[in-house]
Structure formats: C-alpha cells, structure tokens
A = this chain, B = another copy of it.
Amino acid sequence: MESWSWPPRFAEDYRPSPDEHFWFRRRETMPAGDRDAAILERVREVMRYCWDKAPFYRRKWSEAGVHPDGIRSLEDFERVPVVRKDELRRAQAEHPPFGDYACVEPSEVGHIHGTSGTTGRPTAFGISRGDWRVIANEHARVMWGMGIRPTDMVFIGSFFSLYMGSWGALIGAERLGARAFPFGAGAPGQTRRAVVWLRELRPTVFYGTPSYALHVAETASELGIDVGEFGLRILFFSGEPGASIPSIRGKIERLYGGRVFDSGSMAEISPWMNLGESSAHVGMLCWQDIVYTEVCDPSTFARVPYGGEGTPVYTSLERLSQPMVRLVSGDLTRWEAGPSPCGRTYPYLPKGIYGRIDEMFTVRGENVYPSAIDEVVSALPGYGGEHRILITRAEAMDELTVQIEFDGATRAAGDDAVEALRRRAEGDLRAVLGVGARVVPVAPGTLERTEFKARRVLDDRDLWAKARR
C-alpha cells in the first residue's frame, strides 16, 4: 500500500513482489513538477508542525520574519533561514537533553543515538518510536532501489553505537525482509573475524565504509583469502565519499566482484540514506519525497541551477521527532535534473558527495579538494592503498606534498618503477589540481590504515606560523 502524507503512514505488512522494480512506483516516478507541487504542500505542513511544537523554529523564523503560511512556492522556501549543526548543539546545551527543536515529549523517544562527540559537546538524537519505523521503511525502500531483495543476506560491517549508519542499514534490511547479519566493526581482531564469517556464511550484501571494505580485503589477503570468493552481489556504502570516486569504486568492484552503491546524507537527518544510488548507477538519487534536498550556493543558500555545484540543504518530510528544516550539510556536490535511466524522476548527484566546504584548502591561490587528490592517486598503477596530504609553508610559499604508498609489485620492480610512479603522480596531480604537488613515494605498509572515515590531510601551515612567532 503506497501513500504519501503528513504525518507519514506506512503499512508494515507491505512489500513489493521481488520482480517489482520500484517500492513505491507512483512516488518514485511522478513527473518532477507534480512532485515539486506535492513537496511544497509537505514543506508547509512540516513547517506548521515545527512552528507549533518547537520553540527553536518559532524563534528562529520569527526573527527572520518567516511564517509557514507565507511559503507559497519552493522559491519562497529558499528564504527560510538555514539551520547549522552548532545551533543544534547550543539548543541541546540550553534545553537538555534533546534541545528545543525536539517536537515530541521525551517519553515518546524510543531510541537514542548521536554524534560521536570526539570534538566538543556531542549532539544527542532522540528518535521517537514512530520515526524509528519511518526510518526502517524508508531505508528498506532505498535499499530496494539498489536491487536488494528478501532473498539477500546483509552483512553490516560497521560499528554499532551512536553512528546511525549501522542502525539504518540494519532496520532497513529487517523491514525489507532480508536476513540481517549485524556483525559490527571496531573491536580489536574484529576484521579477521569478519573475513572468517564472510567466507563461512556467504552473505550476498555488504554494508560499511569504502575504507573498511578495502581494509577487509587487505586483511583477507594477508590470510591468503581472496574476497572475490565471498560471492557478494552488492556492496553499499556511506560515511565517506569513496564509493562515488570511480577509482575506489572500481577497485572494490574488481576485488569483490560485486556492484558498488553509494548512499548517505547526515545522521541528523536520518533516514540518512535519502541519497542513494539505484541500479542505473548515474550517481546518488535525491529521494525528494523522503527528504527534500536543495543543492545551494554556500553563501546565499539559494538553490543553484541543475548542473551547478553547491552544498546540500536538507528538509525532513517524514520525521515527527526532531524534523530538520533546511539543515546545511557543508558537503560539496553537483546535481543534475532527473529522470535517471532507472525510471525514477529524482535529481541526482553524478559525482556523489566529493568534499566539504570547510575541507577545501587553498594552495597558492588554487582551491584544492582532498577528494580530487584521492581520486588521482587511487587511479595510479602501482598505488599501494594509502596516502597522506601535507600542506606546509616555507616562508610565504605554500607547499603541497602527497605521500603515496606504492605496492609490493612496484617495490619488487625496483627503484626505477618507484621513480616512474612518482613522475606519473606529479604529472596527473598537476593536470587535475592546476597546482604542483611534490610526491614522496613510501614503502608498502608505512601509512596507518583507517577503519572509519579516512583522515589523510595534515595542514601544517598554522603550526609553522605559530612556531615562527
């Protein structure tokens, strides 16, 4: 049973027949204009709900002279002030534990998650029991779009804690009717055990981060096991950009012999899989009837035209607890108008999420995104699987250095091969970045592997400036 309303209604016993391409045919294939009209209606309903329930929004919008009744077009909606993550943190500090943007009573909260809190005060997510089911239903739907079916066994290789990615994949798999294998990750020795279980149980679907899939493959290789034998049909990812970077995607597909699908958005938004690739593989679709995504100019927060680059701004259309209205992601992407060849009429992100507004750094006047370096480096023949980006300043001159680990075959081939890799890397980087980088090849196994989001950039210029003072 398909419906689209505010508040959302789901029939928990509904599931399409396995040969059905769409989960909700009408919602996924409706003409973009019709959908936009419906989104406008939803947006107004959500805003009225937030106005009634959340002092946070009422205060914020009043100060900006905005009222739900004044929103008569999606262009009007672009003038609604955006929400930033630090506002959520502040609201929680002032109104613990869930902030005054929470729209349900604490007693309605069924699940608590949050940000990792490695820097600063963590943000808690108080998710109502109803919204937990909303999230499950929507993730099932997006996973269906990747081709996951009830006959699949879904191995979840990510840490189960505050991080919503693991939980969303789990409850989505449950709702879809697949077999869920919530293996987790993160404890010492867990990756070796993952290899054993992947080989023994032969799940058909893998979820995790791209870094972790590569780490599993390396660990298996050390054990003399080829991950290609696991028989994985689909590997879907979130948490870092890798799955949309062609060289990384290609490497994972070659190693595992399965198809790679990217998904994501933000934990605050959950269902975070509101961006998710379909079998057409044109990039992540913006499932606009779940979360309305606007790719916006990072200074004005007005939508950029299709074809343009900007930062996604998200609005929950089906969340009753802590709905987000125009939450700025700070990510960087480019969008295109739909339809996608899979038949869904959503806009899509052909290169996925490929950076952060605040991750971009400037070297000698050129804007450089770490993801662009990742892409070049990962595509190099002889690349050993890890690299680091160092930005330093000698006197007034920025210097960009990329340490690149070469692989065992390159080492065996000798110094000339290493030198060839270095020259090739410097040439490719200059061509893509428009600025020169010094490449330093390093031996296999030198650089530490990450099990979670890859952190590869070290900007040393501030340190240098401080030391000189």
Contacts and interface: CB of A to CB of B under 8 A. Distances in A.
B174 A161 contact: no
Contacts of A106: 179
Interface stretch (A193-201, A238-246, A326-334, A380-388): A193-201
A197 B117 contact: yes
A153 B107 CA distance: 10
A159 interface: yes
A388 B106 CA distance: 45
Given A97-B201, A124-B201, A187-B187, A179 B117 contact: no
B161 A97 contact: no
Contacts of A121: 200
A109 interface: yes
A362 interface: no
Interface residues of A, number: 42
Contacts of A202: 97
Nearest to A109: B179
A184 interface: yes
A174 B127 CA distance: 12
Nearest to A166: B160
Given A110-B174, A153-B112, A183 B197 contact: no
A455 interface: no
Contact of A181 (B112, B159, B183, B201): B112
Contacts of A197: 114, 117, 122, 162
A182 interface: yes
A121 B199 CA distance: 12
A453 interface: no
A73 interface: no
Nearest to A132: B174
Contact of A162 (B97, B107, B179, B183): B183
A200 B114 CA distance: 12
B179 A111 contact: yes
A305 B336 CA distance: 75
A107 B18 CA distance: 14
A200 B97 contact: yes
Interface in A20-62: none
Contact of A107 (B151, B183, B186, B190): B151
Contacts of A107: 150-151
A128 B207 CA distance: 21
A10 B153 CA distance: 27
A193 B186 CA distance: 15
A181 B113 CA distance: 7
B161 A122 contact: no
Given A112-B180, A116-B193, A118-B193, 17 more contacts: A96-B200, A97-B200, A97-B202, A110-B179, A110-B180, A112-B201, A113-B182, A122-B197, A124-B201, A159-B184, A160-B160, A160-B161, A161-B182, A161-B184, A162-B197, A186-B186, A187-B187
